[in-house]
């Protein structure tokens, strides 16, 4: 995608080649695995986390607003799919349900059933508005005070998700609380056979891969847009940015809204992929998990964030449970490592951070700040041209 | 500020109408203060560390959990049981307190040395992530140590025993213990930081590390010392918590850390008196909410309070200009 930009400048950069090769390889590899492969499942999760991490990167990496409550947007996205694509509102329309472009199977069920593309739109709108609401009280705050207010919002939303079963709004519960909203409809795209995660994970994989490609494109275009430059200016120096005529309120709220929208998108996808929306996952630890991805990858660097998200997600869902825990048995030792997986995850985070404090693939601008005087000014113009 | 009083005043009026006196509210507030004094001890650790290196030390809450676990294990080592006499109990608990403080202080210093010091010149958020990593590691240590579920602790001090009830407020052994440990420690730490030479070095480093270094202050030692102090207070809080709640588990540090961090910010981060005030206020809000609204909504009430306070007092209740803002 950065390649697309350099393409505009009339030459093919090595980045473009790498991006095309990686994307192609990523697109065809599930064909060589069984349809219900566990590794493809891990990949789907990793890609969904990439979307979330790219969203959080806009808020924290570009605009420099530390957000510790990102899980709220996950919740909004997931509940959008839970509310509008299951039999949760089972009494609407005289128990016949409301169906908008829903697949053939859900069309016969009670409740509200929207097509997944509509769900995505609703999730984006809902999460973006939530982003603005969360952003408003932080406008006067600085630095880590922003962090605690966003954290507070995340916790409040998480609590509402858990306690939602006790809230009654005109005959309907707000959520099902710890009892999941389930089953949620499978994704159904116009013109393509309905997805079915019981038979093949491939459609889900390709869908989220396409979503990642789209989100990457949006991210690169945003970063180089007037708005993106305004975000970076605010991150570098808020007072200077304001005196250069950047409208702080609008720019910051846009950052929260855009970041939230991407989180909502990924949340809706995960809700549909898991076929259920369960309140237990919307906890502070999840926000920290996503934040660790973007800091580990390289704050503000889009490819860095992708690498960070993929690597942390794989460490968590593939490397530790599937590879690492089998080491003792391979060596012939009778020793259970599963009990230690949490600590090993922590240890790996510490290790990676100490070895690469600026992230795995730091943003070029930031790298230059850190090694002042080493980089030449010329490369700045090249990147920003 | 008026908002802060909304909850107590509302329920006070309700009490007066229903019971004709304020005993229930007074009970809530008193147990809130004793409960909040534990949060205050932990919050001081957050605020000290934040004040000096502007790091939200996510591992701090888990350090407090280790404090609880150390005390619990020491009961067995020292042979403290329900049958131990008063004098032996006081002596034994004092030993527990000192050991827990020493262990947690040392642990905190070691974490700083390994996880934060190498990142002193790294981007600001890098140590935040190592802190999260250490928090995971400590939680895993907790799981391996005492298992993944709640563990009940011998009720050595007979925590719920009511000593006196002046004006209808029930004062229990647990309340006395919490306040008797917290108050002297807070006074000591405050005095230490405002009077002693190294306290002065801490304040100087917090204001401007570069200038402090130029004045001949050993910044690294000073920062280590700050972590030692914070860790010791967390250890003390760990013991008090174990005696007070009579139930511990590996995840307690995470929740307590969140509350204590909230308390530190509410009071104005970097400010010790603010941290204590924030802890006490949150303790009171929690008790009122637990008692009247329902424990499952307590976090919502606490965090809603926090947001409103932040909107009207962006630097916390007693906050001053931070280095970043100045």
3-state secondary structure A105-172: CHHHCCCEEECHHHHHHHHHHHHHHHHHHHHHHHCCCCCHHHHHHHHHHHHHHHHHHHHHHHCEECCE
Q: For residue A10, what pLDDT band results from cuts at 50, 70 and 90?
A: low
Q: Global pTM?
A: 0.86
- What pLDDT score does A367 carry? 66
User: Is A370 close to B123, i.e. CB distance below 8 A?
Assistant: yes
In this predicted structure, what is the pLDDT of residue A369? Answer: 62
Q: How far off is chain B from A357, nearest CA to CA, in Å?
A: 6
Chain A CA closest to residue B55: A144
Residues of A in contact with B54 (CB under 8 A): 143-144
State whether B324 and A353 contact (CB < 8 Å): no
Nearest to A343 among B136, B254, B297 (CB): B136
CA dist., res. A302 & res. A359, Å (int):
12
CA distance, residue B201 to nearest chain A CA (Å): 24
Give the pLDDT of residue A381. 39
What's the confidence (pLDDT) of residue B16?
79
Query: Residues A312-323: pLDDT tens digits?
Result: 899 888 888 777
Residue range B16-61, pLDDT digits in tens: 777 777 788 888 888 899 999 999 999 999 999 998 888 888 899 9
pLDDT above 80 for A325: no
pLDDT tops 80 at residue A341 = no
Report yes or no: A128 and A258 within 8 Å, Cβ to Cβ.
Answer: yes
Residues of chain A with Cβ-Cβ distance to B135 below 8 Å are 346
Q: State mean pLDDT over A182-202.
A: 78
Which residue of chain A comes nearest to B135, CA vs CA? A346
Cβ–Cβ under 8 Å, residues B33 and B280: yes
Residue B4 has pLDDT above 80, yes or no: no
Q: Which run of H or of E encompasses B205?
A: helix B197-207
Q: Which residue has the higher pLDDT, A241 or B158?
A: A241
Which of B49, B57, B123 to mutate to test binding with chain A, by most A CBs within 10 Å of its CB? B123
pLDDT at position B2 over 70 = no
Strand runs labelled E in B112-268: 151-152, 162-164, 171-172, 247-248
Share the mean pLDDT of chain B: 87
Q: What is the pLDDT of residues B205-233, one digit of tens each?
A: 988 888 999 999 999 999 999 999 999 99
Provide DSSP, A12-49. --HHHHHHHHHHHHHHHGGGGS-TT-HHHHHHHHHHHH
Amino acid B323: pLDDT: 46
pLDDT at A15: 75
Cα A274 from chain centroid (whole Å) = 15
Cβ contact (<8 Å) for B310 and A288?
no
Q: A341 to chain B: nearest residue by CA?
A: B140
Residue A85: pLDDT above 90?
no
Read off the pLDDT of each residue in A91-112 and give the average, rounded to a whole number. 73
- DSSP letter at B216 equals T
Question: How confident is residue A225, by pLDDT bands cut at 50, 70 and 90?
Answer: very high
| Residue B147: pLDDT band with limits 50, 70, 90 | confident
Check B123 against A357: CB less than 8 A apart. Answer: yes
pLDDT the model gives residue A368: 65
User: Model confidence over B243-282: pLDDT tens digits?
Assistant: 888 889 888 888 899 899 989 988 888 888 999 999 999 9
Q: How many Cα atoms are found within 13 Å in the side-chain-facing hemisphere of A81?
A: 32
The backbone torsions φ and ψ at residue B152, rounded to the nearest 5 degrees and listed phi first, read -85, 145
* Separation in Å, CA of B14 to nearest CA in chain A: 24
Residue B193, pLDDT > 70, answer: yes
Helix (H, G, I), strand (E, B) or coil at A173: strand
pLDDT at A2 over 50: no
Interface probe with B: pick from A63, A65, A145, most Cβ of B within 10 Å: A145
Stretch A206-217: mean pLDDT, rounded?
92
- How many beta carbons lie within 10 A of that of residue A92, not counting itself? 15
A357 with B118: Cβ contact below 8 A: yes
Task: Look at residue B69 in the predicted model and tell me its pLDDT.
Answer: 92
Mean local confidence (pLDDT), A345-354: 87
Give the pLDDT score at A374: 41
**Per-residue pLDDT averaged across A281-303, rounded?**
89
Q: Is the pLDDT of residue A198 over 80?
A: no
Judged by CB atoms closer than 8 Å, whether chains meet at B262 and A345 is answered as no
A380 pLDDT band, cuts 50/70/90, is very low
H helix count then E strand count, chain A: 16, 4
ipTM above 0.95, yes or no: no
pLDDT at position B324: 44
Q: Which residues in chain A have Cβ-Cβ distances shorter than 8 Å to B306?
A: 148-149, 152
Task: Report the range of poorest mean pLDDT among A306-310, A336-340, B311-315.
Answer: A336-340
Contact across the interface for B314 and A143, Cβ inside 8 Å: no
Model pLDDT, residue B220: 92
Say yes or no for a CB contact (<8 Å) between B269 and A144. yes
Nearest to B133 among A163, A285, A353 (CB): A353
Cβ neighbors of A10 (< 8 A, separation 6 or more) are none
The reply to whether residue A295 touches residue B258, judged by beta carbons under 8 angstroms, is: no
Helix, strand, or coil here: B135?
A: helix
d(CA A251, CA A230): 7
Q: pLDDT confidence of B238, banded at 50, 70, 90?
A: very high
CA B310-A148-B232 angle, 5° bins: 110
Q: What is the mean pLDDT of chain A?
A: 83
Three-state SS at B246: coil
pLDDT, tens only, A137-176:
888 787 778 888 898 999 999 999 988 888 777 777 788 7
> How confident is residue A12, by pLDDT bands cut at 50, 70 and 90?
low
Residues 6+ apart with CB under 8 A from A52: A70, A73, A74, A262, A263, A266, A267, A290, A309
Q: Quote the pLDDT of residue B320.
A: 65
Nearest residue of chain B to residue A64 (CA atoms):
B125
Query: Is residue B283 scored above 70 in pLDDT?
Result: yes
The two three-digit tokens of residue A363, written as one number: 């943003």
């Amino acid at each position: 995608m950065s390649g697309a930009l350099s393409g505009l400048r009339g030459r093919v950069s090595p980045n473009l080649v790498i991006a095309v090769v990686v994307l192609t390889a990523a697109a065809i590899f599930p064909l060589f695995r069984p349809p219900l492969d566990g590794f493809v499942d891990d990949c789907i999760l990793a890609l969904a986390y990439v979307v979330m991490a790219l969203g959080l990167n806009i808020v924290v990496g570009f605009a420099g607003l530390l957000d510790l409550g990102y899980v709220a947007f996950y919740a909004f996205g997931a509940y959008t799919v839970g509310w509008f694509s299951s039999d949760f509102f089972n009494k609407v329309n005289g128990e016949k349900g409301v169906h908008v472009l829903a697949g053939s199977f859900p069309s016969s069920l009670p409740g509200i059933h929207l097509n997944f593309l509509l769900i995505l739109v609703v999730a984006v709108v809902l999460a973006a508005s939530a982003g603005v609401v969360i952003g408003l009280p932080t406008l006067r705050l600085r630095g880590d005070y922003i962090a605690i207010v966003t954290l507070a919002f995340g916790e409040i939303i998480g609590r509402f998700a858990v306690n939602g079963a006790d809230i009654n709004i005109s005959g309907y519960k707000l959520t099902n609380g710890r009892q999941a909203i389930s089953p949620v409809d499978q994704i159904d795209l116009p013109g393509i056979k309905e997805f079915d995660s019981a038979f093949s994970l491939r459609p889900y994989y390709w869908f989220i891969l396409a979503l990642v490609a789209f989100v990457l494109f949006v991210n690169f275009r945003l970063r180089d847009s007037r708005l993106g430059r305004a975000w970076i200016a605010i991150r570098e120096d808020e007072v200077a940015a304001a005196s250069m005529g950047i409208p702080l309120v609008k720019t910051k709220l846009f950052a929260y809204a855009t970041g939230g929208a991407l989180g909502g998108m990924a949340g809706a996808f995960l809700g549909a992929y898991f076929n259920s929306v369960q309140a237990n996952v919307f906890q502070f630890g999840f926000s920290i998990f996503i934040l660790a991805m973007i800091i580990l990858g390289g704050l503000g660097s889009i490819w860095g964030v992708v690498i960070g998200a993929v690597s942390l997600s794989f460490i968590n869902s593939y490397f530790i449970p599937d590879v690492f825990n089998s080491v003792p048995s391979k060596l012939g030792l009778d020793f259970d490592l599963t009990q230690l997986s949490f600590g090993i995850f922590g240890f790996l985070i510490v290790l990676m951070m100490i070895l690469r404090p600026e992230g795995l693939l730091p943003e070029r601008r930031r790298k230059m700040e850190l090694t002042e005087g080493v980089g030449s000014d010329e490369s700045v113009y090249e990147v920003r041209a | 500020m008026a908002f802060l009083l909304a909850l107590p005043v509302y329920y006070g009026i309700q009490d007066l109408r229903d019971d004709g006196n304020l005993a229930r509210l007074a009970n809530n507030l008193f147990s809130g203060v004793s409960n909040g004094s534990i949060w205050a001890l932990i919050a001081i650790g957050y605020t000290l560390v934040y004040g000096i290196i502007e790091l939200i030390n996510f591992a701090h809450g888990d350090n407090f959990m280790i404090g609880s676990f150390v005390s619990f294990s020491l009961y067995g080592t020292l042979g403290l049981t329900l049958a131990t006499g008063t004098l032996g109990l006081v002596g034994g608990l004092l030993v527990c307190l000192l050991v827990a403080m020493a262990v947690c202080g040392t642990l905190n210093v070691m974490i700083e040395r390994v996880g934060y010091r190498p990142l002193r010149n790294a981007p600001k958020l890098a140590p935040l992530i190592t802190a999260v990593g250490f928090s995971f590691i400590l939680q895993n240590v907790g799981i391996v140590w005492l298992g993944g579920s709640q563990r009940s602790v011998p009720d050595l001090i007979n925590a719920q025993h009511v000593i006196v009830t002046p004006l209808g407020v029930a004062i229990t052994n647990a309340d006395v213990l919490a306040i008797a440990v917290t108050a002297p420690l807070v006074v000591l730490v405050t005095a230490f930081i405002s009077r002693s030479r190294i306290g002065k070095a801490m304040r100087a480093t917090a204001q401007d590390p570069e200038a402090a270094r130029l004045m001949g202050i050993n910044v690294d030692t000073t920062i280590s010392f700050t972590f030692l102090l914070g860790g010791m207070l967390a250890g003390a809080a760990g013991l008090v918590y174990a005696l007070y709640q009579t139930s511990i588990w590996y995840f307690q540090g995470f929740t307590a850390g969140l509350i204590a961090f909230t308390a530190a910010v509410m009071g104005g981060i970097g400010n010790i008196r603010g941290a204590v005030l924030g802890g006490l206020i949150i303790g009171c809000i929690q008790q009122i909410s637990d008692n009247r609204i329902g424990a499952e909504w307590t976090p919502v009430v606490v965090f809603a309070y926090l947001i409103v306070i932040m909107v009207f007092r962006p630097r916390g209740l007693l906050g001053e200009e931070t280095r970043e803002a100045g």
